[in-house]
Amino acid sequence: MTTRFEASLDFARGMDQHDHIHKLRNEFLIPAGETGELIYFCGNSLGLQPRKAREAIDQELRDWENLAIDGFVKAKNPWLNYQYQFCKPFSKIVGCQENEVTVMNTLTVNLHLMLLSFYQPAGQKYKILMESGAFPSDQYAVESQVRFYNFNPDDAIIEIGPREGEKILRNEDLISAIEENRNSLALVILGGINYYTGQILDMKNISETAKKADIAIGFDLAHAAGNILLNLHDWGADFAVWCSYKYLNGGPGSVGGVFIHEKHIKNLKVRRMGGWWGNDEKTRFEMKRGFIPKADASGWNISTAQVFNMAALKASLDIFERTSMPELRSKSIDLSGYLEFLLSRCAGEGKYEIITPKKPDMHGAQLSLFFPKNGRHVFKCLLDAGIVVDFREPGVIRVAPTPLYNTFEEVYRFFEVLQHVYDGS
């Protein structure tokens, strides 16, 4: 097979020189290791700090200092409307209209709120379909929701996993499971990208299948938002939730994002948990009885905007605004493609296996490598070389070169360490 890549430092540096968004790396603070900047491949767990995050938080501190209560209307970014600043950048990141997206709370809380709105068990249709081995927080959320309605999780949750002897879930298996269980399913909830294997699910087809069968469909986009191209509105998903501290670099525990499809946002009858921030602004401060939700996704807001934590996210989304998801995705495909190319150069019997599907449209930035024998040792060698990745039992190292701040040279350095481990070269 011919390839456009070469396994050399010069080649990697050349790729960086030709990278149009290489300069955006300067917008991030790269942690200093003992022997120079770390090579940070953990943006899938916690994105790096935007250089301007501190100034953004300082701005709010100053406005609080100088304006106190008046900051709600007179701050540089009035706190009353703070959450609306995110609609435009997020609409581009998840592929939807600005009125279909909002920020509030954190991911798992939002997942619960969306389940309360869209999981509506009725008669025979009361089951929830999800992937087996979903992120624990999602498993706990779904389990506790079905218990909330007095169902037995063993009966009410249908889990779909890879076939015997396979590591990757097949989209066709998901689709046929949805079709086969159409009479008992009330809702399907899936991770757009699996946090462990890095696999992208076919969200378009899955959404269409669920909608045809009259089943609510939602996605957890924790590993997909800011990573791959999404088109939630056109796919017709009912809702999606994501956190903003992974590829979105909003900082630990930063505010979560929520998508609710247009077909629901104006329907004030869709049940939801009320709170004053979701109420129509015209009557919010009249403090009267009668909750009238806003007719957009922010009609699901409950409490006052979390200004400080949103400020850091804003600083990050301003960087996204200087590029575009197609441009980021295109670099990401090259970065992970280069990683895969290099990995294939030093692969060999019993060394490691890439468990992430190889086709570029089936994975985002992250590749997951399974080391049957010496995962912990390799992990330690990488750490010693200043390369930050993570290790998950039993022997999986997740490597996520992120296009906003990682370079081809860093990918090459990763390869050098692996070569050293195996060849001593």
Ligand X SMILES: *Cc1c(COP(=O)(O)O)cnc(C)c1O
The contact set with ligand X (CB under 6 A) reads: 106-108, 135, 137-138, 191, 195, 220, 222-223, 243
CB of 405 to ligand X, least distance (A): 19
What's the min distance (Å) between Cβ of 183 and ligand X? 28
- As measured in angstroms, the least distance from the Cβ of 239 to ligand X is 14
The residues that bridge with 127 in the sheet, in sequence order, are 185
Determine contact, residues 345/366, Cβ cutoff 8 Å: no
CB of 44 to ligand X, least distance (A): 8
- Decide whether 136 or 372 has the Cβ nearer to ligand X: 136
Shorter beta-carbon distance to ligand X: residue 138 or 410:
138
Q: For ligand X, which is the closer residue by CB, 169 or 421?
A: 169
Shortest spacing between CB 245 and ligand X, in angstroms: 7
In this structure, are residues 214 and 181 in contact, taking their beta carbons and an 8 Å threshold? no
Q: Give the shortest CB-201-to-ligand X separation in angstroms.
A: 12
Q: How many residues does the chain have?
A: 425
Of residues 201 and 222, the one with the C-beta less far from ligand X: 222
CB of 396 to ligand X, least distance (A): 15
Contact 141, 170 (CB under 8 A): no
Question: Parallel, antiparallel, or unpaired: how do β-strands 157-160 and 39-40 relate?
Answer: unpaired
For residue 200, what are the β-bridge partners?
A: 193
Shortest spacing between CB 141 and ligand X, in angstroms: 9
CB closer to ligand X, 80 vs 93? 93
Nearest-approach distance from CB 255 to ligand X, in angstroms? 10
Q: Are 242 and 114 in contact (CB under 8 A)?
A: no
> In this complex, which beta carbon is closest to ligand X, that of residue 27 or of residue 220?
220
Residue closer to ligand X by CB (options 112, 233) is 112
What span, in angstroms and rounded, lies between the C-alpha atoms of 4 and 202?
27
Instruction: Choose between 249 and 407: whose C-beta lies nearer to ligand X.
Output: 249
Return the number of the residue (137 or 419) whose C-beta is nearest ligand X.
137
